[in-house]
Structure 1
Amino acid sequence: MKKISLYILLALIVYSCRSNDQGELVGVKSKSKWQSEKPLGMTLIPGGSFTMGKQSEDIAGSLNSPTRTVTVRPFYMDETEITNSEYKEFVFWVRDSIVRTELALYAELLGEEGLEDYKFLNVEETDMTPYQQYMMEAYGSIDGDPNSPTQGKMLNWEEEIIWDKNQFPSIQYAEVMVDSIFIPIEDSFEGRRMVNVDKLKFKYYYLDQEAAAKNEGQRRDFIKQETVRVYPDTTVWVRDFNYSYNDPMHQDYFYHEAYNDYPVVGISWIQAKAFCRWRTKKKNDFLNTKRKSTTVPQFRLASEAEWEYAARGGLENATYPWGGPYTTSDRGCFLANFKPTRGNYAVDGALYTMEAKSYFPNDFGLYNMAGNVSEWTNTAYNEETYYLSSTMNPNVLDSKNHRKIIRGGSWKDVAYFLEVSTRDYEYSDSARSYIGFRTVQDFLGTDIKGN
């Protein structure tokens, strides 16, 4: 007992000698000064209050968006809808992860013959921290996934993957690609070997924080797992329109580089949520390589209130993001991509979608908050949502309600759906040729410099 008391006394003396607070309460100090970092391609939406809902005649008679004053906190929002090029980065990362895992597993099975360049990296060969080394050795992955197919080893991301079948380096490499990655022989034609997109799945875990906060139980009881197919449903260009020739869009819209800067479509709400998780992981993985202990706030879908506030661009009582009640400028130029007249889709300059950064941005610097593609939000839809939700950061999360609100209208919609207060919905597992998304990220703190 005397030894324990002596140790405590020595610890107090050492702490007192090293501290220069003179015994005053000064709080815990951080080693470095923190400041918010604006993500690339995003703009800061300042928090504030606004009048949400229909402020003029509800011509559709939906009666589901009465006016009321609400307040939202500041957040970052993508300047444009997520493009094909940006979403491809997600798809390619998932694809390459699967390919490298298959190659490494075969290399281990075959004793590395013909696949030496793609074998797993041993923990000792990597530049990992002691924590990462222990997690890999004890649990098979840095994030502690006990079902990791990499068997406690690191994938080799340095060696380039060869996709040209005429350049395959070995028979073993060809075996992996043909039997594990490409579509089955019976599904191919004209000698075309394509990646089996059904295998491109992204698995992630998340904590159901709302359920955990409202219910008792162990933390593990509220950890959820999702496995999501990530490839867009390109058939939407055919299925959405009967008796219409849209095969070129079906074949080329996501695949061809000509459409890289166009908004991605054929994405369900579930896939959009998975993309947000991956984007967060991508940034945090980079910070880990820099040995930084900080993590970024989650990228996510905007709530319905956040979306409407951002679309208004700080303008009160505005019908459209540009403020005026008309869809054309004083020179007769259309201000958005939509369906102006019956059967005439192209009079506004585009038959289908347009580049994500087209037309003029609103006063927050956001492009195409009206038209081009409708956008998923994180809010569940029902007619009483406006009445049920809070007036402070309103959002209705209901995992049992598969109807999710979409906003902004699209290239195939009439002007009514472009209004900033118009509500619509789609089912969370559905994908459409006219629905895309953009992401947001929380701004930490309340002091917004220069605003």
Structure 2
Amino acid sequence: MQKFFIVYIPIVISLILLGCKEEAKKPADGPKTENEPSPIAATAASILVKKPESISTPEGMVWIPGGQLKQGAVQQDKMAMQHEKPAIDVLVDGFFMDVTEVTNAQFKNFVSETGYITTAERAIDWEELKKQVPEGTEKPHDSVLQPGALTFKKTKTSVPNLYDFSQWWNWTIGADWKHPNGPGSSIVGKDDYPVVQISFEDAMAYCEWAGRRLPTEAEWELAARAGQVGTTFFWGDDITVLKDRANTWEGEFPVTNTKADGFELRAPVKSYPPNDYGLYDMAGNVWEWTSDWYNTNYYKEAKASGMVQRNPQGAKAPFTPNNPLAKERVIKGGSFLCSASYCASYRISARMGSSMDSSLEHTGFRTVATAAMLE
């Protein structure tokens, strides 16, 4: 749906960033009895926790011990949104995960070896595009039908309506992974920055080349927690240390960024302390693709099933309330644009849906590999 931006950018931006809008009603968890047996206890012993001795840890990755997890919003998180609730019980086998988000240098190697062209760089086919817009829509001028992606722009004055995302997102012709902020920008000298303007399709292509895959949402949360149980952030619950732990937005969004954390836009990987598993930027910097469909009802339906989810793959089908035809995937971790007044997605349970062919300057990815993949 990326090319759809050209004709209906204000609408599409709203759909892409739906995850930052809190819904009206908050479902409550069902009643629990004090001595109710844990449904996890009987099956937790079969989870792969330790790394098999026969398998070496791939370069640039770390082993994530398997375990049980309360996936979703924690009770004390007052900023949690409805699509993060209610928390569900999951069991996840251990796996390997990239220590950092995939960098410009790593993606450059992939492109050099394969000749891959990202979605943001491809010519626009009007015959294909018109299938995604209302019937009867006139063909835009050829000067508009050019490859590009979404870039961020600060506003000059305060924004009373933070749900109107078109106020700070621009469709920019010529924006792509090599020119993340538009044709005048460059990644020269930024090999250690996370690659952005990457669509889901682009990330999947990289994974296939690298012999990896994208993490599930459950795997991502297990890795982000790094053994922390019931905390809002990967370091605990203390929000006052945010600027020292993550690249986010300080100041009035989207007018002024004080750069209290040292950066206004993206930061090089490893600019902030890792979590206890040695993973960097599991909060802030850039959003990260997962393999799960984005469905606002997923947690509610999974909880209602009464079943413990083992290595859950997420929703069986996508669902976005204000656009039932949308097919979005879950992204995690938040970005340099997250602030307390706007999404606060540096929280572990935070999630958002993004169209699979969307490319934005605050979205990248990291990969995972299972023991079975490396045997």
The equivalent residue for 1:42 is 61
Q: Does the alignment pair 1:393 with 2:311?
A: yes
The equivalent residue for 1:339 is 249
Cα distance in 1, alignment partners of residues 148 and 196 from structure 2: 8
Coordinate RMSD, CA, aligned: 3.1
Deviations 1:38-65 (A, max 9, x none): 1110000000012221112443542542
Q: In 2, are the aligned partners of 1:327 and 1:335 still within 8 Å (CA)?
A: no
Q: Does the alignment pair 1:268 with 2:186?
A: no
Q: For the pair shown, which has the larger CA radius of gyration, 1 or 2? A: 1
> What is the 5 A alignment of 1:288-437?
299-328=212-241, 334-342=244-252, 343-344=256-257, 346-389=259-302, 391-396=309-314, 398=316, 402-415=327-340, 416-437=344-365
Q: Does the alignment pair 1:89 with 2:7?
A: no
**Runs of 5+ in structure 1 lacking a partner?**
1-32, 99-196, 200-232, 281-298, 446-451
Q: In 2, are the aligned partners of 1:374 and 1:409 still within 8 Å (CA)?
A: yes
Per-residue deviation, 1:431: 0.9
The equivalent residue for 2:151 is 237
Identity %: 35
Cα distance in 1, alignment partners of residues 180 and 198 from structure 2: 18
Query: Alignment partner for residue 97 of structure 2, among 52, 77, 82?
Result: 77
Q: In 2, are the aligned partners of 1:339 and 1:414 still within 8 Å (CA)?
A: yes
Deviations 1:386-407 (A, max 9, x none): 2445511112264766211111
Higher RCO (CA 8 Å, separation ≥ 6 residues): 2
Q: Does the alignment pair 1:439 with 2:352?
A: no
Paired residue secondary structure (1:70): strand
Deviations 1:318-371 (A, max 9, x none): 111122331417xxx521100122122522110100011210000010000000
Per-residue deviation, 1:270: 1.1
Higher share of residues assigned helix:
1
Kindly tell me: are residues 326 and 279 of structure 1, through their superposed partners in 2, closer, same or farther at Cα, counting changes over 3 Å?
same
Cα distance in 2, alignment partners of residues 311 and 238 from structure 1: 26
Per-residue deviation, 1:76: 0.2
The equivalent residue for 2:182 is 250
Kindly tell me: are residues 34 and 45 of structure 1, through their superposed partners in 2, closer, same or farther at Cα, counting changes over 3 Å?
closer
Cα distance in 1, alignment partners of residues 286 and 240 from structure 2: 16
The equivalent residue for 2:88 is 68
The equivalent residue for 2:17 is none
Kindly tell me: are residues 371 and 73 of structure 1, through their superposed partners in 2, closer, same or farther at Cα, counting changes over 3 Å?
same
Kindly tell me: are residues 279 and 352 of structure 1, through their superposed partners in 2, closer, same or farther at Cα, counting changes over 3 Å?
same
Cα distance in 2, alignment partners of residues 322 and 52 from structure 1: 17
Cα distance in 1, alignment partners of residues 369 and 272 from structure 2: 24
Q: In 1, are the aligned partners of 2:197 and 2:361 still within 8 Å (CA)?
A: yes
Structure 1 counterpart of 2:330, which letter? I
Cα distance in 2, alignment partners of residues 267 and 345 from structure 1: 27
Cα distance in 2, alignment partners of residues 383 and 243 from structure 1: 26
Kindly tell me: are residues 394 and 400 of structure 1, through their superposed partners in 2, closer, same or farther at Cα, counting changes over 3 Å?
closer
Cα distance in 1, alignment partners of residues 106 and 150 from structure 2: 20
Q: In 2, are the aligned partners of 1:71 and 1:392 still within 8 Å (CA)?
A: yes
TM-score with structure 2 setting the length? 0.62
The alignment of Structure 1 onto Structure 2 pairs a total of residues equal to 260
Cα distance in 2, alignment partners of residues 346 and 76 from structure 1: 33
Cα distance in 1, alignment partners of residues 100 and 202 from structure 2: 18
Per-residue deviation, 1:91: 1.0
Per-residue deviation, 1:384: 1.9
Cα distance in 2, alignment partners of residues 305 and 383 from structure 1: 15
TM-score with structure 1 setting the length? 0.52
Structure 1 counterpart of 2:259, which letter? A
Paired residue secondary structure (1:404): strand
Per-residue deviation, 1:425: 1.2
> What is the 5 A alignment of 1:145-160?
none
Q: In 2, are the aligned partners of 1:64 and 1:384 still within 8 Å (CA)?
A: no
Cα distance in 1, alignment partners of residues 180 and 348 from structure 2: 32
Deviates more, 1:360-369 or 1:242-251: 242-251
Q: In 1, are the aligned partners of 2:293 and 2:318 still within 8 Å (CA)?
A: no
Kindly tell me: are residues 66 and 249 of structure 1, through their superposed partners in 2, closer, same or farther at Cα, counting changes over 3 Å?
same
